Every structure is written in structure tokens, then in C-alpha cells.
Structure 1
Amino acid sequence: MSNIFDESYFRGALVDQRDTRLDAEFLVCVNRSGDLSVRLPEIPKTPAVTEFFDRNFGSGRTLHLKLTGQNAGRESFSTTDFYVTNRRVSGVARSPTVSISGRCQEATISRPATSNVRQPIVEWFTNGFKTFLNLGADSEHGKVQMFGHLLWDKHEPPAAGRLALFQRDQQHDYMAIDAATLTLEHVARIMSVALDVYITPRVIVERREKKETFHIRGGVQSAQPYVPPFDRADIEKIFAHACGMTTVQRDHFKAHDLPIRWLVAPAHYEEARHIGAMTALEAVLEQQKSPRLVGRTEFERLKRKLAYLIKEQFPDQKVADQMCTKLNDLNRPSLGEKLRTYISHHDVPTDDFPPEFLDRVIRARNEVVHTGIGKDDHSDIVPYMHVARALVTRILLRAAGYRGPMRWIFDTEMKSTHL
């Protein structure tokens, strides 16, 4: 894969937060990983240049410089958060020059559309993921393509993942671009679950009839996934399902974005993975309206009686008040009860989990939350973490309407199931 945006020359201006302006000629490149680099080579070292970079480099530097420019090819570049990362003085004593390099979190590059080859109306270059295959499937708004490179192969430099949508009718208006973007967001959300990496764009390319725009988003590269729930033989099935979901189905599944982020969040410890999965689970259950165990009026009467008994039993006002703050919890179902209700209502398969394991997964979560580590029966947190991750994955895939094979790991054994 070549650069996303080949190095190009621009002429423009650099402006700091004091509104000091410095005319600048600079080079811009977006490499195959989606990293943007900006270089200002060999600027004559005048007093104005020295003063500008003395104020905007080092410990006292300004982090938000505005850099804009154009070139003869009618390309334009703009950013409002450029910062200097390196400054080097060279040249002879009588005519020294300063070379500057820097970065920015977000930037926009635009250029005339010149290619006659059919190209996607919206194209994402994302943080890394691994699909093994070039994936392609039809959606409501056109054909979606997806491919992830060998990101974690130590012999390969990192490369961005790619998601793209090709329109059927080649209309390049704003509504078409918005529809394509929503489709890619949805596919990325489903495939984040499938690949165990939260997929976000680092560079977004939008193509209109006469113009290409590159939106550089920045962001970090991905951590290596833990155990993706699909192998290379089944990844095409979940991808095709994601692309084929209707607008109504996509809108419904969007509510599960937060649980997905928690499930696939990078973690270095098994306890952290377990807490991530359990937090994802609670985020899903929180979306459901849990009925009170008894009616509001009936419970308020009970609560007043209990509060009276507590204050009568414990003359220490502070202790009594603390106990009374817990009374509202009596009218709410427990996490285990909410989970069992959800599993039954949504027909989430759990028959292949060990007996009693759901309750033990919750107890393991409570121990880690309150003590920082599992103890006694939960001292080895790994089996509980595996079940928690498998359960949340099934809940999310069921919410997406997926039916088909998936895999999960328990202890050291890879298992298969069918939703």
C-alpha cells in the first residue's frame, strides 16, 4: 500500500495564538498508516523567524498554531492545531536556515477530482485491524469494501485498515455522502465486535463530482485484539450481515456503541478485561427498563416504616442516615436478576457455559471492583473473564440480528457455538 496522500508542496502562512504571522512553504504527506507529517524545510533564519519559533517551540511553545496553504495544483491544506516537534538550524554562518517539522491532530486537505476511475464516494483509513480477506458486500446505499493489513506482523510496517462505499448511481451530493458515512459507521461498529478492535477512522476521504477532501482525524493505532469471536472462514458472513441491515436496524443497534467500546477496550491485565466486559454488560442492561419489584406508593410506605425502625434501633444519626440511603435499592432487581431476564427475553444461548457460572461471574466482578483482585474461588479470574466476554459478545450479536457460527475461548480451549 502506498501513501494515502503523497507528499505535496504548499505555500501559505503559519499563525500563532498571538496572531503573529510567518509566511511559510511546507511539505505535507499522509503515510500508509494514516499519520500526517508536515515539514517546513530550510527557512532563512531571520530575526522574525527566530523570535517566532523561540515562542512556539520547547517548554513554552504554543500548541495550537494555524497553518494554511495552497499550491499550483489547486490543492489546499488547513489545520488549526499544528505544533512544532523538531527544529534544526543548518547552513553556513552568513546564511543559516531553520528546518521545522511538526504534527497536528486534525487537518483538511482538498484537491480537484482528476481520476476517471470509479472510486468510492466515502473512504475510511482506520486504525489497524486484520480481516485476512478483501471483504465486499452490498448495502442499502451501495457496495461496501473492507480490508485490514498485517498490522501486527513485526516484519511489516503498520498499515491503516480500509472501509469504503461505492455508490450505485454516482450521485456526489451531501445527502449521498451523509448516507454513505452512516453506513460505514454502522459496519465499523459491527466489525469492531467481530474483530475485537474498536474501528475508528484516522483519515476520511469524501469524493464529490469535482472535489476530493481528506479529513485527517489522527488518533492512535490499535492494540492487538484478545480473541476475536470469528475466524477467517466466518468473517465474511458477519460482514455481509452488517452491510445488509436496514436503516431501522442500524439506528437501533447504534445504542450499543458504548458497550462495544468497553468490551474491546485494550487491557493489559485479565482483571481489567473482566471489568471491561462486565461494564459493557451493565451498559446493555441499563438500556432496558427494569420494573420495580413493587409499586411506588406501596414501596414508599414500606420505606418509611423501615427508616423508622432503623432510626429507632441505631441512635447514632449518622449511621442511621447512611443505612437509610440504601433503602431504594430494595425495590430494584439485582444485576443477576436483570441479566437472567434479559437472556430469557432475547433468547441468548448460554447452554454451553458451565453450571452456575453466570452468578459466579458476577461475584468475581464484585470482588475485583471492591478489592482490586479476585480471591478464593475467583483467584484465577481468567475463566470468569472468558465467560463474561463471550456472553456480552453474544448479546451484542443477537441485538444485531446475527444468526450463525461464532467462537469463544474458555480457559485454554477454543469452543464453537451457533447463534
Structure 2
Amino acid sequence: MPQSRTRNSLFTIINHPYQVFISKKPLKQSFQSYQEIGGENGYCFGVQESTQMKEKSPSAMASVKGSVNKEEEIESLKMEVGKNEESDKEASFNKMKDESGMVKSSESDPTESLSEDQQRIHQLSEQIKERQESEKKIYDSYVAQSKEFEQAKVSLEHSKNQINSLLENLQKWEHPSNVSFQTSLGNDHLKRLELELQFTKGKLVRAQEDEQASSLRAKNLTEEVNFLKSEMKFIADAEENNQKAMDDLALALKEVITEANEAKNKLSATQFELEKTKGLVENLKMKLKMVEGKYNEAKKEADRYKNTSERLRIEAEESLMAWNTREIGFVDCIRKAEDERNAAKDESKALLESLEEAENMNKKAKEENQKLRDIMKQAINEANVAKEAANIAREENSQLKDSIAKKDEALNFLSQENETLKINEAAACEMIKELKQLRSKGI
């Protein structure tokens, strides 16, 4: 874009209304037309003013072109810097916002999972406490029932021993060898023995009933013991599962804590990067302000150059109009001189004819011849003036060639400036790429 603009600006400068003093073709055409019209005997006017305008035109062209190039370069650089800064700012801020949102969401998710895990751990700990209390109660009841079972066993053995001793006594008393002894005893003693026998029989019945009840209680206790053993096994398995769950929860908590720490580190890193990008943005803003200041100065200078170029254009138009009027006068003078010369030729022919025809008019012819000689001298003088004008035109042609050489030098200078502008543009692009690379590395 800047190269096409410079070409267009050069085209507009060359095709300006005062192209008589800048381009090559009109000068050659005008000089050839002057030679064709006036020839060697023509007149030349306004040479000093045309040379002055020729001396002014290259400097004006160079100044206008320099201002236009500076303005275009500054505008292009400003547009590129503004676009790059806007795109970099938007990309960096959007990325920072996304990262901060992700970090916040990751922070909120670990906190929520931590709270849920803590609630679950609290519930599991309460369940474990309740199970431990129930296990303690079951163990206490098991110990009490085992003690009762032992006591029942002891009482059963004691009752069995009593029954055996009573049966032995009964057998002794019922034996025939003891009949004489029974008869010898008194009736009171028999009654007492009968009462004891009945009492022992009742005690035997009660002992049998107690034995049956104790056997039933023993069966119930064994069933309860088996049930308690199975329940203890189930509780042990549940404790193992709870321990595994607690270990899994501890690992999950460790992972969540590490993730939370990583998220915090990422958040701190993103905050640091955000501060860094803010600093870069501030630096870019300062650079943009400096560029805007330079742009304003260059714009003022370009306005000043525009005003000077406008003034020079007006002066060139005025001088062109004056040159055209003088050119018209110059052509009229040449035409008048040709008419006078033709008239003089006709008169000389008529005089020669009159000399040949009339010898009587010799004196008058001599006088007229003298007059014709004077006219011829005047014509010779005019021819000399025309030769001097031709010499002046040749000098003007050499001056035009010098001005053409100067213009060629100006065009070479403009091409060099165009190359420097391209180099500056490439340097600006490289600087923008480096800034993008620095931003990508910083992100």
C-alpha cells in the first residue's frame, strides 16, 4: 500500500498544472514550436522568469514529495501499530479472562469437592462411632450371657451331683439289708425320711426342669453367640471397607489439595502474566502517544508543505499565463517581421523592375536604393538579433538539459527514499513480529 501511494503521489506531482517547468515533454515541444515558428530570426521573451521557475520547481517537488511520503509512512505505521495493539490486547485479555475463569472454576470445584468429602468423612466417622458403640454393647451382652451360661453350667452340675447323691441315698434306703434298720427306727424318723424323700424328689423335679431350662438357655446362648460372631465378622468387614474408603478419601483429598495448590499457582502465574501484559500495554500506549506526537508534528509539517506547494502552484499558474501572453506577443512579432520582410522583398523587386524599365528615374532609384540599403541593414541587424535569440535559445536548451539532469537526480533520490521506506516498513513488520513473539512467550 505505501508503495502504490507514493507512485500515485509522484504521478500527481508530475501531472501538475505547472508541468511546463517539471516534466520533459512539454519543454521540448515548446522549444521545437518556438524554433518552427521563429526559426533563427525569431524573438525570445521571458527566459529569466522561466529559469527561475525551473529552479524553484525541483525543490518544491522534493519538499512536497518528502512531506507526502512522511505522512503516508506515519499513517501506515500508525494503522499497523493500532491494529496490532488492538488485536494483541483483545487476544491477551480474552486469554487472561478464560484462564482466570478456568482457575476460578477449578478453585470452586475443589472447594465444593472438599466440602462434600468432609461431609462424607463426618458421616462415615459418625457411622463408625455408632458401630463401635453397637459392637461394644454386643460384646458386653455376649460377656454377660457367657457368664450366665457358665453359672448355669455350674448350677446344673451342682444339681446333677445333688440328684446323684439323693438317688444313692434312695437306693441305700430301699436296699433289703436296710429293712431291719428301718424297722428299728422309729416312726418319727420314718416320717422325717419320707418328708426328706419327697423334698428331694421335688428338688429333683425342679433340678430336671432347671436342667431343661438351662439347656434351652445354652442353645439360645450358642445361637446368639454364633449370630454375634457373624455380626462381628460383618462389622470387621465393614470396618475394613470403611478403612479402605477412608484411605481412598485421604488419597482423593491429597489429590484435591495438590490440584488446589496447582490452581493457586496457576492463578498467581496468570495474575503475574496479567500484570506483565498490563505493563506491556502501558508501554505500547506510551509508544503510541509518542508516535501520535510525531505524527502530529509531521502532519503540521505536511500542511506547511502543502501550503507552500499550493502557493508555488498558484505562482506557476500565474507565470504560465504571463508566459502564454508573452508567447502570443512573440508569435505576433515574428509574423509582423515576416510580413515586413516579404513586403521589402516585393518592394525590392518592384524597384529593380523600375530601375530596368526607367533609366530616367536613376537619381530617384539611387535614393530609393539607398533607402533599400538602409532597410537591408536594418534587416541584417534584425537577423543578427535573431541569431542572438537563437544563441540564447541554445543556452536555454542547455539549461533545460541541466534541469532535466537535476530532475533525474531528484527521481533517483525519490527511488532511494522509496527503498528506505520499504526497509523501514520491513523493520516495523519485524518489530511487530518480535512483539507478538514476546507476547506469545509471555503468555
Q: What TM-score do you get using the length of structure 2 for normalisation?
A: 0.16
- Which of structures 1 and 2 has the bigger CA Rg? 2
Instruction: Name whichever structure is richer in helix by fraction.
Output: 2
The higher relative CO (CA closer than 8 Å, separation ≥ 6) is in: 2
Q: What TM-score do you get using the length of structure 1 for normalisation?
A: 0.17
